[in-house]
Amino acid sequence: MSESAAAFPIELTVNGHRRAIEVAVHHTLLDVLRDDLGLTGAKECCLVGECGACTVILDGRTVDSCLVLAVEADGSEITTVEGLADDRGLSPLQQAFLDKGAVQCGFCIPGQLLSAHALLADNPHPSLPEIQEGLAGNLCRCGCYRQITDAVLATAERAER
């Protein structure tokens, strides 16, 4: 069938910036973030909600953006990995990923960071099993799970109790 579906106007707040755009109804939030808004941090990979490479935070909760139609996100606030750092530099979580050597090829890291960011926002001092469950939806083919969980633990330890 035709790819030129009727454009549907939506409004998103992406990393704090209000965006009014027109999207095709059969395009996913991942398609729109990458192709229409130029935010390529979220990655396209399994496209069935198993790998987590496309993870973004939608209204405070992580989602697989490959399984969300862009029109469904109309009116939502979205955080992508591009929104984690600020003018002063990397977030403590991002710095911990570097310090612990958690980044090998880097493909899964935006998703890992956002899942870890959402986990720590909910539960600032998670146990190791809580971290493993919290990140179970993010696969790393380089096998850096140990370093990734170390980075999350280190960030949690530095957070105020």
Site for another protein in 120-149 (CB under 8 A): 132-134, 136-138
Applying CB under 8 A, the site for another protein has a residue count of: 37
Site string for another protein, 74-113 (x = CB under 8 A): ----------------------------------------
Which backbone phi and psi does 86 adopt, to 5 degrees? -130, -170
For residue 80 the two structure tokens come to 């992508």
Strand locations in the chain (E): 7-14, 17-24, 55-58, 61-64, 77-79
3-class secondary-structure state, position 132:
helix
Q: Which DSSP helix (H) or strand (E) runs through 156?
A: helix 145-158
3-class secondary-structure state, position 123:
coil
The smaller minimum CB distance to another protein, of residues 52 and 83, is found at 52
Residue 28 as a binder of another protein (CB under 8 A): the answer is yes
The binder of another protein chosen from 37, 67, 142, 153 (CB under 8 A)? 67
The binder of another protein chosen from 18, 20, 38, 48 (CB under 8 A)? 48
